[in-house]
Amino acid sequence: TYNTHVFLSANTTVGTIVVNSGGTQFNTSSDYRLKENVSGITDGITRIKQLKPSRFNFKVNPDKTVDGFLAHEVSSLVPEAITGTKDAVEAEDVDETGAKKGDPIYQQIDQSKLVPLLTAALQEAIGKIETLETNNTALTARVTALEAG
């Protein structure tokens, strides 16, 4: 296993890219010792229902349709997944990149940041399904008992 990239902030590793014979891992900090004010996600289904997954193609590749999201539509629901601001443009020429004043600064999305919300919504849905199954079993038993006698 080899760290091909190590990302530091204030002399603390906050991410790595690791490769080995089995593949590549893109890692970010997740150790509990780095976190505080931890609480469960309780509105997963509500927030997931507001996401608008779409099919589209990128203008540079009109023949390839993909599934995904529009960054500005996700930004209010999972802001940590979005980099940049809707409709942002360069304020001035940027010699280092060749960007010119008025050029678009495109938003980006880290879709992996949606996983905790998806997991919470799935857990909520599983809980509702289990409750319905329990209620259905109880109701079926009552109906069977009434029919029997």
Kindly state the average pLDDT of the residues 98-118.
96
Query: Three-class SS string for the chain?
Result: CEEEEEEEECCEEEEEEEEECCEEEEEECCCHHHCCCCCCCCCHHHHHHHCCCEEECCCCCCCCCEEECCHHHHCCCCHHHEECCCCCECCCCECCCCECCCCECCCEECHHHHHHHHHHHHHHHHHHHHHHHHHHHHHHHHHHHHHHC
Q: How far apart are CA 56 and CA 116, in angstroms?
A: 25
Q: How far apart are CA 85 and CA 83, in angstroms?
A: 7
Q: How far apart are CA 99 and CA 91, in angstroms?
A: 10
Mean pLDDT, the chain, whole residue set: 95
Q: State yes or no: pLDDT of 132 exceeds 90.
A: yes
Q: State yes or no: pLDDT of 3 exceeds 90.
A: no
Q: How far apart are CA 30 and CA 38, in angstroms?
A: 12
Question: pLDDT-based confidence at 47, cuts 50/70/90?
Answer: very high
